[in-house]
């Protein structure tokens, strides 16, 4: 899954040995050029890589109109391009990843994305035995299947324990702080959001252009009890985002001033240590 497609997308992917033909879905936040200008070239590169599978492009209202322009540039694409305009709260699935959209507040229609990897409850042997579930049915029930045997209906809840927290990543950029973002970010393992400005005198400019201050993003992350915050989407006038690192971490300790190529392997949080 790819979120947005700026003009440098393919360069970044090549640097990290990520093949373009294996992208299953592209989720667009909004239609400003710095988030969409790389789309025609990416689709053409997919075509040159002999892609034949359909690709789905998601985005806010206005996606179909934007794609008309993309098709004028990226002609003769040999695979199907499916377009899905998302309304408030609409979602989709990519493999096992459940994605939900939520509205943001920018100068144009803009949405953020919550990505969740659900985690199945742990198998409870003692519970299965106490419920007299036949041993040969354990595996199928553990996978979430309901099974009937000898006239008895066995359901997964007979062998599974309590729900376990999965993984949640929230991506939201080009926005003012809004309730929908705060709600989506609640207990997120990783929140990626913009810190357009760091100098406090830029607050009026941030409000005018519908962007977010670094300090506002840190406060939002703290209130939402996220596990980590990555700031991104800095103003070109911000010569060194790291100058604001101390102030940001004083608001929310687990803040990262992220840069190109930032990556992390996320692990499940069992509630024992939120800093694992």
Catalytic residues, by residue number, are 34
Q: Which residues contact 179 (CB under 8 A, 6 or more apart)?
A: none
Question: What DSSP string describes 263-276?
Answer: --------SS-TT-
DSSP strand pairing (147-149 vs 152-154): antiparallel
| Contacts of residue 35, Cβ cutoff 8 Å, sequence gap at least 6 | 4, 5, 6, 28, 29, 174
> How many residues does this entry show for the chain?
276
Beta strands in the chain (DSSP E): 2-3, 25-27, 55-59, 81-85, 91-94, 97-103, 111-117, 147-149, 152-154, 167-172, 190-194, 229-232, 255-257
Report phi then psi at 166, rounded to 5: -90, -150
Whether 170 and 191 have beta carbons less than 8 Å apart is answered as: yes
- How far apart are the C-alpha atoms of 205 and 53, rounded to whole Å? 44
Pairing of strands 167-172, 111-117: antiparallel
């Amino acid at each position: 899954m790819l979120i947005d497609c700026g003009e440098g997308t393919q360069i970044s992917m090549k640097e990290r040995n990520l093949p373009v033909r294996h992208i299953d879905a592209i989720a667009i936040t909004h239609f400003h050029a710095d988030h969409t200008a790389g789309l025609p070239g990416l689709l053409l590169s997919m075509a040159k890589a002999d892609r034949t599978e359909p690709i789905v492009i998601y985005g806010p209202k206005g996606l179909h109109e934007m794609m008309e322009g993309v098709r004028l540039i990226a002609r003769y694409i040999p695979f199907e391009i499916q377009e899905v305009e998302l309304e408030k709260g609409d979602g989709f699935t990519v493999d096992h990843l459940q994605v939900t959209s939520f509205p943001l507040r920018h100068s144009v229609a803009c949405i953020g994305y919550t990505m969740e990897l659900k985690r199945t409850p742990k198998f409870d042997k003692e519970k299965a035995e106490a419920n007299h579930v036949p041993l040969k049915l354990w595996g199928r029930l553990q996978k979430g299947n309901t099974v009937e045997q000898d006239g008895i209906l066995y359901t997964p809840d007979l062998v599974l324990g309590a729900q376990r927290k999965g993984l949640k990543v929230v991506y939201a950029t080009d926005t003012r702080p809004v309730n929908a973002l705060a709600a989506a970010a609640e207990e997120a393992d990783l929140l990626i959001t913009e810190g357009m400005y760091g100098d406090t005198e830029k607050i009026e400019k941030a409000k005018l252009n519908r962007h977010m201050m670094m300090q506002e993003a840190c406060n939002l992350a703290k209130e939402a009890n996220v596990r980590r915050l990555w700031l991104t989407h800095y103003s070109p006038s911000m010569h060194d985002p790291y100058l604001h690192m101390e102030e940001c971490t004083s608001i929310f300790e687990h803040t990262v001033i992220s840069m190109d190529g930032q990556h992390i392997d996320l692990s499940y949080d069992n509630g024992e240590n939120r800093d694992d």
